[in-house]
Chains A and B, each alone.
Chain A
Amino acid sequence: MTSMRTNPGFVVALAITLALVGIFLPAPAQAKKLNIVTATTDMAALTQEVGGDKVSVESIAKGYQDPHFVEAKPSFLLKLRQADLLVVVGLQLEIGWLPPLITQSGNPRIQVGANGYLDASQFAEILDIPTGTVTRAMGDVHPLGNPHYWLDPDNGRRIAKGIAGKLGELDPEDAGYFQQRYQDFDKRLAAAEQKWDADMKPYRGRKVVTYHNSFPNFAKHYGLNVIGYVEPRPGIPPTPSHTIELIGLMKRENCKVILVEPYFDLKTPNSIARDTGGTVVQYLPSVGGQKDVTDYFKLFDYDIGLLMKALQ
């Protein structure tokens, strides 16, 4: 019988081997570029705007993916362990997948509360903050407010400003550069907003239905009126009784537009459209939802273009 005393020795040996492997790893390239990982593509786009060529940015979720249900794949750990900064949407949007990735990353810089963890929701105007008791009878409700807040250019500006501040904090030498980039972004956004505002002005007060409640900030900014949702409760798939109610509501309110995120099934929205004579619009909640929608500006160009066509 082999003595068990060799066992602790084996573990120590393993630990030492691992440590040596760690020591001989190429040291992460210092300074030059900040390594940034974001939870979603929108945060990546805004970070890229203010970070310019001083940062390299990568998003975990893809723009055409439901950000509530991302798989916590180990390949993301390879990115996270190198990251200087992790930008999250917050408000519990990523609660189902990001926490174990952060824990397993072995990267002290991006742990919750550490300097390289940035919750972008702190900069933005947040809607739908529930007051009173929150229960899951309401579905998968976010108790801290609606996390789909980036679809309002004013919030985009505020988030960009916040990220620029954080980048300057992490890389003080280039703080001026990031502020300069932010000023430039602010100007370009103001110019684009003038066009978007003018485009959307004729449709203020128009009624729409969305699949999931991921549209409140856009609706508020452009004065659209979201009168209902295809989901009976957030995160609960459509039910026949709710669909019938919704069709009735849309007919009464003369609402003709159903907005659907690209990751939802179109069967129910299409049947609602048939019954109400409406149109289904597959809008994009995020940058990268379509190949050519590569930045924050193109996202609004795309969605506003779709809405103008649908609301005419």
Chain B
Amino acid sequence: MTMRNSFLPFCMTILFGLPLCAQQAGTVPAANDQNAAMEQHIRDLEDRIIALEGQVRMLKSSATAAPAAEAAAASAAPSAAPPAPAPAEALASQATGTQAQVYGGAGGSAAKALNPDISVIGDFIGAVGGNSPPPLATLQPFPSLQMHESEIGLQAIIDPYSRGDFFISFGEEGVNLEEGYITFTALPASFVGKVGKMRSAFGKVNMMHNHVLPWIDRPLVTTNLVGGEDGIDDAGVSIERILPAPKGIFLEATGQLFRGDSGDVFKAFQKNDVSTVDHLRAYKDITESTNLDLGLSYSRGNNDFGPNFITNLYGVDATLRWKPLRRSIYHSFVARSEFVWSQRQQLPVEQRGFGYYASADYQLGRRWFLGGRYDSSDRSRYANLTDKGGSLVLTYWPSEFAQIRGQYEFTKYAEGLNSNQLLMQVIFSLGAHGAHPF
């Protein structure tokens, strides 16, 4: 701290003292020359102070683990302007001393700078209407008022080669590790690897956390065929790579291997009962505002009917997005559809079910979104029973960090029972929640 206290007055003395000396010196032309030189000198000093300030900021924000931070600082330092290592070190120790100011919290320890980004997202849902579902239905109605989920996110860069992400969701009772994985970002040959528990890459909706869905609930096809809210979410390893493709097409393949326990979709009775998910994604910018995103998914694993009863899932997803860049915060449009085929081995006969949804969302203005969804899906255990439904959704954003949503939902169960529900949701976000993949 003493370093800083003495450093600034020292600079001030130089900045203001030297011109005074200069003015007292000799003749006018000589003085002019000297003044110009002084001005230049002051500018140089100013530049050096700004460069030092920049280094202090970098040191403050290099929130990586100690050895990694050293590596990062070492690589960042030479690129900045000249100053010697000694003052930089002094400033570093000072930087940690003033940490509390920047982060606004209590305590000024260095440990705080190394904390992961912490966020909490609250998801409150209210519901009116709706009948009790028929006995064989997978879809269950929402309770009247419910703190549906509180998702805690802990995210940080682990070292120069990897990052870690944890999403822990609390229901009103009970806790669930929604996701917790390390991503290896520096693998050879452009591979990206993940190890941990994660939402699998089967289609689009399965990857999404509740708070980024354009609806309050998940589509019927997800509920009936792909494990509902948690979906295929399991412990395992994942590897993905961008593949070469012509004409600016983005092509990416993902292969995932899981233990084989995912809600009511997969169940592992023995260690061999692992499940897999494979996904191929093709994406193309049609114009700078419009793009098309297509995906093929395949998943396979042991189902809960018994050992050696397999479920195969095949998926196709398509998304068309439009967002004019000059007015990107005011208007956008997304149309999306997913089709899923399920082959579930069970006794007495294998069940072959099919389901899909089609949805469209239009952003009316900076804060308003209007959307709709059509649902149709067989049930995985009773493929001859087909549920259908439709939803109308209106969303309001007071800010980027809060969202209020209403959804009217009509469901026609296979048994002939109709249900009308009105759902209301408030989502609110605290802290630094990292951006989600596109």
Q: Are A1's CB and B345's CB within 8 A?
A: yes
Min CB distance, A118 to chain B, in Å? 7
CB of B1 within 8 Å of the partner chain = no
CB of B438 within 8 Å of the partner chain = yes
CB of B239 within 8 Å of the partner chain = yes
- Give Cα A6 to B323, complex, Å: 44
Q: Which residues of B contact A165 (CB under 8 A)?
A: 78-81
Known: A108-B161, A122-B55. A14 touches B367 (CB 8 A): no
Q: Are B50's CB and A236's CB within 8 A?
A: no
- Give Cα A11 to B260, complex, Å: 14
CB of A65 within 8 Å of the partner chain = yes
Q: Are A122's CB and B399's CB within 8 A?
A: no
- Give Cα A166 to B183, complex, Å: 27
CB of A115 within 8 Å of the partner chain = yes
- Give Cα A69 to B328, complex, Å: 8
- A77, A114, A134: the one contacting B104 at CB < 8 Å is A134
Q: Are A7's CB and B80's CB within 8 A?
A: no
Q: Are B50's CB and A158's CB within 8 A?
A: yes
- A71, A105, A135: the one contacting B438 at CB < 8 Å is A71
- Residues 34-61 (chain B) with a chain A CB within 8 angstroms: 47, 50-51, 53-55, 57-58, 61
Interface segment, one of A32-40, A93-101, A301-309: A93-101
CB of A310 within 8 Å of the partner chain = no
Q: Are A132's CB and B400's CB within 8 A?
A: no
CB of B71 within 8 Å of the partner chain = yes
Q: Are A106's CB and B242's CB within 8 A?
A: yes
Q: Are A236's CB and B102's CB within 8 A?
A: no
CB of A161 within 8 Å of the partner chain = yes
Q: Are A103's CB and B50's CB within 8 A?
A: no
CB of B253 within 8 Å of the partner chain = yes
Interface segment, one of B131-139, B271-279, B413-421: B271-279
CB of A202 within 8 Å of the partner chain = no
Q: Which residues of B contact A108 (CB under 8 A)?
A: 160-161, 185-187
Highest count of chain B CB atoms <10 Å: which of A19, A69, A113, A140: A113
CB of B33 within 8 Å of the partner chain = no
Interface segment, one of A21-29, A44-52, A245-253: A21-29
Q: Which residues of B contact A263 (CB under 8 A)?
A: 325-329
- A11, A66, A69, A169: the one contacting B79 at CB < 8 Å is A169
CB of B424 within 8 Å of the partner chain = no
B274 and chain A: residue at smallest CB distance: A7
Q: Which residues of A contact B323 (CB under 8 A)?
A: 71
CB of B14 within 8 Å of the partner chain = no
Q: Which residues of A contact B51 (CB under 8 A)?
A: 122-123, 158
- B57, B300, B327: the one contacting A121 at CB < 8 Å is B57
Q: Which residues of B contact A177 (CB under 8 A)?
A: none
Min CB distance, A266 to chain B, in Å? 11
Known: A4-B310, A111-B186, A121-B54. A100 touches B274 (CB 8 A): no
Enumerate chain A interface residues (CB-CB to B < 8 A): 1-5, 7-8, 10-11, 14-15, 18-19, 21-23, 25, 62, 64-66, 69-75, 77-78, 81, 95-100, 102-108, 111-115, 118-119, 121-126, 129, 131-136, 139-140, 143-145, 158, 161-162, 165-166, 169, 235-237, 262-265
Known: A100-B436, A236-B399. 12 other contacts (CB 8 A): A2-B310, A3-B272, A18-B243, A18-B253, A25-B244, A64-B326, A106-B191, A108-B186, A111-B160, A113-B75, A114-B186, A132-B104
